[in-house]
């Protein structure tokens, strides 16, 4: 990769997001229409139909919110229900191996953090390019300080 993108940059699975939000909206509209068109339903039953449609849309919207935001000071990983802020120096490695469902970040504390914002699902080549870009950014911005060993 010859040139890094200007920061901040956001990585998210655009096609997957569009599919999830479209499906969620369609499900909500269909369930709401069914609730309003069925004459034998009482007000409570109609409301429970509409609530169920809204709940299904909400779950799909949470799945669609995943992203990875890289800026000058680090990376914010937004997964389905969590958000984690990392300094560049905390990211040791960015991995997207064949068969992985999304990128994994190997961290300086010895753990691995899934970054669902880069996933090869529908757009495999885009995910590979995004993973390479994030890897290059991490390598360019990480400050690896020598460990002090005082005994």
For 92-130, b/e burial (b = at least 16 CB within 10 A) is eebebeeeeebbbbeeeeeeebbbbbbbbeeeeebbeeb
Percentage of residues in the chain having pLDDT higher than 70: 93
Neighbours of 1 (CB within 10 A): 12
E strand or H helix that includes residue 46: helix 43-64
Average pLDDT, the chain: 91
If pLDDT is split at 50, 70 and 90, which confidence band does 3 have?
Answer: confident
Cα–Cα distance, 82 to 76 (Å, whole number): 10
pLDDT at 2: 57
Question: Residue 6 — pLDDT band, cuts 50, 70, 90?
Answer: confident
Mean pLDDT of 49-55: 97
């Amino acid at each position: 990769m010859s040139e890094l993108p200007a920061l901040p940059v956001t990585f998210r699975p655009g096609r997957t997001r569009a599919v999830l939000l479209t499906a969620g909206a369609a499900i909500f509209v269909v369930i709401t229409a069914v609730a309003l068109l069925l004459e034998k339903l009482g007000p409570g039953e109609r409301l429970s139909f509409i609530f169920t449609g809204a709940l299904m849309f909400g779950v799909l919207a949470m799945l669609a919110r995943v992203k990875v935001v890289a800026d000058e000071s680090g990376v914010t990983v937004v997964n389905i229900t969590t958000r984690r802020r990392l300094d560049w120096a905390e990211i040791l490695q960015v991995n997207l191996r064949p068969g992985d469902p999304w990128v994994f970040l190997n961290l300086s504390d010895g753990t691995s953090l899934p970054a669902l914002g880069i996933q090869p699902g529908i757009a495999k080549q885009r995910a590979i390019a995004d993973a390479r870009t994030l890897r290059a950014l991490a390598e360019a911005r990480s400050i690896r300080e020598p460990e002090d060993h005082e005994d």
